Chains A and B, each alone.
Chain A
Amino acid sequence: MTATESTLRPAAQRSGPGLGGKLGALALLVLVLAAAVLASLLLGARNVGLDSVLAALSNVDPADGDQVVVQSRMARTVGAIVVGAALGLAGAGLQGLTRNPLADTGILGLNAGSSLAVVVVVALAGAASLPLVMAAAFLGAALVMTLVYVVASVGREGATPIKLALGGAALAVGVGSITNTILMISKSTLDEFRMWQIGSLSGGSLETYLLAVPVIAVGALVVLSTARACNAVAMGEDTAIALGINVNRARLLGSVGVVLLAGTATAVAGPIAFVGLMIPHAVRLLVGGDYRWIMPASLLAGPILLLLADTAGRLVLPPSEIQVGVMCAMLGGPIFIIMMRSGMKSVKL
């Protein structure tokens, strides 16, 4: 009773397009990703030429303004790829493991938990090192995720998508106000977090984003390893158990992976919501309902969304820019409502 059409179709339909179609879709995603990377490097308050990009890639000439611009955009481009991949895959994992079409790292409060933990650590330890911040972010995400599940599981129907979404959102508000308290007490922390809290890629350095890569790779592998379990869960928990899938183990493992992905993304770029919601649904249209395809495709599509959102945010109001977190919320809100409306039509959420 908790799944929408998209997650609970007959097996034949669920496989979606044929193998060729799926490979074609992945190839298309790779091409679009390449184009998005290029756009992110070329466009902005100051547009640069392709030759400057190529020159800057090999060896930056500090005297050439265009090349310096490219270099500064390099960091946020890498950031968008890393964070987008993490959030897209985290969303796919959450949706698959909980059979919940409304799952997202933002909606379920994971981002808010990470933010709180990061703010606490920075307020207590001053300028904290990135590994410490990341560890705090994992812990915060894990705690909130556990809490949201425990709270939503109370009652007869168990953790339904709507209970999870409502509980997660309400807890996110609560956790957010504790975060605000700490920011209010410490003015210096407030100044440091004003931009970060919105979800922005403009502040991070290339080193920060590159440091996040190994953690995200581990998280991605863990989440990808649960793809088969997600497919089985999509057919109903009882069916999954009958198929010999250890659902609880898969959920625990997947949750660890999701927390690694979401926590790292929040630690480096701040809380960005709705990416994890939008990407798996968009990808489903391309590759069908098989999580062994949805997950890798989300890994490619997440960066595309973040790159385009970040680039668009730079182009809308030059010379100032709209943070990527704001762009994603503006884009994701309507999509969430559309999902909710179509989901409610077919199934009681």
Chain B
Amino acid sequence: MSAIEQSTRRHEPGRPTGVAARRSARVRIAALWMLLVLLATAAAYIFWGRDRLPVDEVLQVLGGASVPGTSFILMEDRLPRLVVGALAGAGLGISGALFQRWLGNPLASPDVIGVGFGASAAAIAAMIVFGVNDWKLSAFALAGGLAVAAVIYWLSASGQRTGSRLILAGLAIGAMLQALIQFLLTQTEVNTASDAMRWLTGSLSASTWERAAVLGIGLGAAGIFLLPVVLRQLKLLELGEDAAAALGLHVGRARVLLVFTAVALGAIPIAVTGPLAFVAFLAGPITAALSRSAIHVPLAGLTGATLVVVANFFAANLFAQINLPVGVITGAFGAPFLIWVLVRANSTGNGG
């Protein structure tokens, strides 16, 4: 299994310790660049959104003054969008990276293995059938994602090569859930379906401070309390489950915690913004390529945030008159990257 291969490569005996130092230096440099791009794009978006705002007015608003029109656009639209986008991207990026690291396969991101569809289907069902449209949507999405993760895990458990089996089982479940979503969409009137479809593509247009708060609290709780533990256990799991058990790790419990954390970090953003195509999928591999090492999970979170903020900037400026949802940009521009990830995975023997 490729995760083991990777980790044995990483833990090769007799390797000079300088390699580890250089690698963490590369991760730091990549993080710095990523942060720079994130901040620069965010700053640019404040001025150049759907329409351009005069510089002096923006500065006045940011300084605390109230300028009619500009204040509203900034405080009620652009800033919440940026915050929601960055948080959602970070959650998706970390979620994808956790799955990819754990299963040792770049294709194992939640948007490919059906967990994302589980969250989407539960949220759509909650919207259409129960008329839910607030923070409770997050609970539905989380429950849906967890249920699908449990089913996939159960279907693929027992026996060798759990990674590939899990991905294939996820593919099939994903196809079924997609069919379910589409069926639900045809059962509603056109306007609801159009809204739901917009949500399904992933959009920041409904971003409010309230939603940013929901997102921040949910992701913050998972990120602060669970993620450090999971990252520590992940390092042990990557040594191979037998080795991890020998080192005193309760493997079953560690896996459950990992899946729960990864699903939570992926499902909470989906409930707010809809599934932003490929952010979870691409953040990890981009991170790995930039730092030329294994996927660094926190860096993947930063990369995810940057991807969404950059995509949001393009969505606002490329086709300003059409009001394109940001998920369309991440999807369309993500597709070529997807091919790059596949080729890269296959050429290193990680593709399955």
Chain A residues with CB under 8 Å of chain B are: 102, 106-107, 147, 151-157, 160, 162-163, 165-167, 169-171, 173-178, 180-181, 184-185, 190-191, 194-195, 197-198, 273-274, 320, 322-323, 325-326, 329-330, 332-334, 336-337, 340-341, 344-345, 348-349
Q: How far is it, in angstroms, between the C-alpha of A274 and the C-alpha of B180 when the chains are bound?
A: 15
Q: A174-B331, A332-B175, A334-B172 are in contact. Are A167 and B342 (CB under 8 A)?
A: yes
Contact A330 B179 (CB under 8 A): yes
Q: Bound state CA distance, A102 and B165, in angstroms? A: 12
Flag whether B115 is at the interface (Cβ < 8 A). Answer: no
Which residues of B have CB within 8 Å of A330? 176, 179-180
Q: CB within 8 A of A162: which of B164, B194, B331? A: B164
- Give chain B residues whose Cβ lies under 8 Å from the Cβ of A190: 194, 197
Selected A-B contacts with CB under 8 Å, 21 pairs: A151-B346, A155-B347, A166-B107, A173-B111, A177-B277, A177-B278, A181-B324, A184-B198, A184-B201, A194-B185, A198-B182, A322-B183, A329-B179, A330-B176, A332-B175, A333-B172, A336-B172, A341-B155, A341-B165, A344-B161, A345-B159
Give the dominant DSSP class at B's interface: helix
* Beta-carbon contact of A178 and B335 below 8 Å: yes
Q: Smallest CB–CB gap between A98 and chain B, Å?
A: 15
**9 residue pairs, one from A and one from B, having the closest CB atoms:** A177-B331, A174-B335, A329-B179, A333-B176, A162-B352, A155-B346, A154-B346, A336-B172, A326-B179
Q: Is A163 a contact partner of B334 (Cβ separation < 8 A)?
A: no
Which residues of A lie under 8 Å from residue B334 when comparing CB positions?
A: 174, 177
In the complex, chain A residues whose CB is within 8 Å of the CB of B185: 194
- How far, in angstroms, from A345 to B159 measured CA to CA in the complex? 8
B182 to chain A, nearest CB (A): 5
Cβ-defined contact, A333 with B352, below 8 A: no
- Chain A residues with CB under 8 Å of B328's CB are 177, 180-181, 184
Decide if A171 touches B338 in the complex (CB within 8 Å): yes
* B186–A195 CB distance below 8 A: yes
Query: What residues make up the interface of B, taking CB atoms closer than 8 Å to A?
Result: 107, 111-112, 155, 159-161, 164-165, 167-169, 171-176, 178-180, 182-183, 185-187, 190, 193-194, 197-198, 201, 277-278, 281, 319, 322, 324-325, 327-328, 330-332, 334-335, 338-339, 342-343, 346-349, 351-352
Return chain A residues, CB-CB under 8 Å to B319: 185
**Distance, CA A184 to CA B318, complexed state (A):** 14
On chain B, the residues within 8 Å of A102 by CB distance are 168
**A163, A171, A332, A334 pick with most chain B CB within 10 angstroms:** A163
Q: Which residues of B contact A334 (CB under 8 A)?
A: 172, 176
**What number of A-B contacts does a CB cutoff of 8 Å give?**
160
Contacts of A165 in B (CB 8 A): 168, 171
Between A274, A333, A334, the greatest number of chain B beta carbons within 10 A of the residue's beta carbon is seen for A333
Flag if A173 contacts B325 (CB, 8 Å): no
Given the interface contacts A162-B164, A185-B322, A344-B165, does A329 sit within 8 Å of B175 by beta carbon?
Answer: yes
Residues of chain B lying within 8 A (CB to CB) of residue A153: 346
Are B339 and A166 closer than 8 Å at their CB atoms?
A: no
In contact, A181 and B331 (Cβ under 8 angstroms): yes
- Cβ contact within 8 Å between B201 and A157: no
Among candidates B169, B180, B349, residue contacting A155 with C-beta atoms closer than 8 Å: B349
| B161 / chain A contacts, CB cutoff of 8 Å | 344, 348
- Name the residue on B nearest A273 (C-beta): B175
B307 CB to nearest A CB, Å:
14
A198 to chain B: closest residue by CB? B182
Least CB distance from B107 to A in Å reads 5
